[in-house]
Amino acid sequence: MRMVWKGVMPAITTQFTADDELDLSLFKLNIEAQLKAGVHGIVLGGTLGEASTLTNDERRILTRETVALVEGRIPVLMNIAEQTTKGAIQLAKTAEEDGASGLMMLPPMRYKASDEEVIAYFMAVANSTPLPIMIYNNPIDYKIEVTLDMFDKLLKACPNIQAVKESTRDTTNITRIKNRFGDRMAIMTGVDTLALESLLIGADGWVAGLVDAFPAETVAIYELQKAGKIKEALKIYRWFMPLLELDISPKLVQYIKLASVHTGIGAEYVRAPRLVLSGEERIRIEKIIMDALAVRPELPEYKNLTH
């Protein structure tokens, strides 16, 4: 499948049972909800997918099940967040074997690599696979920034590095990337609370988090702004903001999974060391969710709009 870096791509949660096994039935239910809403791709095994807790066998199962379920309708990406170049290359190989359409890649985990080491890491993986790659640039959470000068070297050396998940929290970076690289590198905004602003100033798409609980609202914002219906998109976005802020917390996995319980498309079970929310924190987050659901907007027709 040719990779099109546009639209809404959910960073899908991994669903677990109470016994800490993969809950494939609920996982598929969530993906079906995403497909019904009109998402444009699926990203597996990211932060929201609890990547660091998954075994390689579980990653493979999730990839194969998702590829079979979407039946070529949209691309399926597997995230790579490894400590070693060797491990990353192996994951890229298995993702390709299992039918993934592309990869999302983080810089090396744990070790704070130098710019030279980060470039070498990405190049080694990119040169080992024909799959298109989106680099996840999130220096806030992962402490390594992929600068524009670094991207310049990567884009010249590796044709299959094609996109960035832009999560620096600095929206001016979108304009800098466009000014420097034009259409050579697509931009997928990766911060829910900056999504609409980012799309309006040039981001090509949105790797989203709250979409795991609210797929239709997320896709509606993208499609409406794309069609120039900014006022309609902004109305939904303003309603959505208290929920979108759940995406920028260290406990985003627990928060978003709890939201998906309330919308009927997910469970709250997480893999240790994460724990299910309890006490005052649970009460506070559930209030945010319930308050939003009480005034959930009726969406305008957002599919098949003329862009």
Tell me: the pLDDT tens digits for 98-136? 999 999 999 998 788 899 999 999 999 999 999 999 999
Q: pLDDT digits over 13-67, tens only?
A: 999 999 999 999 999 999 999 999 999 999 999 999 999 999 999 999 999 999 9
Reported pTM: 0.96
Structural domain boundaries, residue 147: 7-294
Answer yes or no: is 279 within a domain.
Answer: yes
For residues 61 and 57, give the distance between their C-alpha atoms in angstroms, rounded to a whole number.
6
Q: Which of 148, 184, 179 is nearest to 166 (CA)?
A: 148
| Overall size of the chain counted in residues | 307
Question: Would you state the pLDDT for residue 245?
Answer: 98
Answer yes or no: is 305 within a domain.
Answer: no
- How many structural domains does the chain have? 1
Buried b (16+ CB within 10 A) or exposed e, 131-170: bbbbbbbbeeebebbbeeebbeebeeebeebbbbbbbbee
Answer yes or no: is 197 within a domain.
Answer: yes
Question: Would you state the pLDDT for residue 141?
Answer: 85
Answer yes or no: is 116 within a domain.
Answer: yes
Answer yes or no: is 301 within a domain.
Answer: no
Answer yes or no: is 115 within a domain.
Answer: yes
Answer yes or no: is 306 within a domain.
Answer: no
The CATH number given to whatever domain includes residue 109 is 3.20.20.70
Q: What are phi and psi of 47, to 5 degrees?
A: -55, -45
Looking at the DSSP bridge assignments, the partners of residue 44 are: 78
Answer yes or no: is 299 within a domain.
Answer: no
